[in-house]
Amino acid sequence: MARLSDDFCVAAAVNDREILAACLARSPDILSGRLKLMTYEGYSSAAAALNAGLDGSTAPFVILAHQDVYLPRPWLDNLIAQIEQIERKHENWGVLGLFGRKITGEWIGRVWSSGLGHEAGEGGFSPAEAATVDELLLVVRRASGLRFDENLPGFHLYGTDIVTEGRARGIPSFVIDAPVVHNSKPVKTLKGAYAQAYRYMQRKWRKRLPVPTLICDIEPHPIALWRAQLQSMKIYRRNVARPRRDAVEIAKALNYE
């Protein structure tokens, strides 16, 4: 089925308008008006902001992107081609991500991550069913009925949660080959808010553990989280001094556009 740009919109939870202006709002598909951008400020959790994003339009596909993501030209066309490929086999899909882990556990995807200081993964793959996806950008198919769990506190693990929710209901999610620039800052700490979300996920999905994530699997025992907390401190120290580069320059240097 042919897709029109009216079938899509972009929603973002925003807490820094300067970063929004330097990244997501500069994306050619948004500047040209092909993709409408809606922003949500002041929400107490990602789930609350992103459900507001789902409710803010009637578009069949809602692109939920971080404010620090730049969509290189012609990103929407890439997305449409990937959806058409998936729908040849799976009409009833739930969520798409750009980086994640397959249901077999392997990592898949391709994105630039400024927080890591390098490109993660490589391109040239077919859409792969996902067990977890990175939250930098999620595409939700409205007709799947999937929504974000507003009991999940804070701004972490909501991608893993909605993908797991889909799997529990027999609605598959996928990682697609549609690279973007994630002009992120390194994660400062996996204590506090991250650990709180992790504990919520441990309780919610106790019958399905371990649930894979991109940072550390959700397991009954907290040792995986403790290890990841140590590791993230090292990555943070290594990358924190790096200045934020220009998103468009990064996209050009990587041949994303």
184 touching Mn ion, by CB under 5 A: yes
Please tell me whether residue 134 binds Mn ion under the rule CB under 5 A.
no
List, in sequence order, the alpha helices (H) in the chain.
Answer: 17-22, 28-31, 46-55, 75-87, 158-168, 193-204, 223-239, 247-253
State both tokens at 249: 């320059």
| Cβ 171 to Mn ion shortest distance, Å | 25
Picking from 60, 162, 42, 92, the residue whose alpha carbon sits closest to that of residue 52 is 42
Q: Is 66 in the site for Mn ion (CB under 5 A)?
A: yes
From residue 138, how far is each of 3, 42, 65, 91 by CA, in Å? 18, 20, 6, 18
Q: Is 45 in the site for Mn ion (CB under 5 A)?
A: no
| Site stretch for Mn ion (CB under 5 A), options 64-72, 86-94, 119-127, 247-255 | 64-72
Closer residue to Mn ion in complex, CB, 29/68: 68
By residue count, the chain amounts to 257
Q: Which residue, 69 or 228, is less far from Mn ion as judged by CB?
A: 69
Residue 134 or 161: which CB sits closer to Mn ion?
134
Pairing of β 128-133 and β 37-41: unpaired
Least separation, in Å, of the C-beta of 184 and Mn ion?
A: 4
**In this structure, what DSSP letter does residue 83 have?**
H
Count the residues of the shown chain that bind Mn ion, applying the rule CB under 5 A: 3
Distance of CA 37 to the CA centre of its chain: 16
Smallest distance from Mn ion to CB 114, Å = 9
Closer Cβ to Mn ion, 68 or 165, answer by number: 68
Binding part of the chain for Mn ion, among 12-20, 67-75, 160-168, 221-229 by CB under 5 A, reads 67-75
Instruction: Count other Cβ atoms within 10 Å, centred on residue 236.
Output: 16
Tell me if 129 contacts Mn ion by CB under 5 A: no
Neighbour-count burial for 62-71, b at 16+ CB within 10 Å, e otherwise: bbbbbbbbbb
Give the containing element (helix H, strand E) for 112. Answer: strand 107-113
Q: Which is nearer to Mn ion, 154 or 222 (CB)?
A: 154
From 68, 161, 177, 217, residue interacting with Mn ion (rule: CB under 5 A): 68
Task: State the residue number with the nearest CB to Mn ion.
Answer: 66
Residues that bind Mn ion in the complex, under the rule CB under 5 A: 66, 68, 184
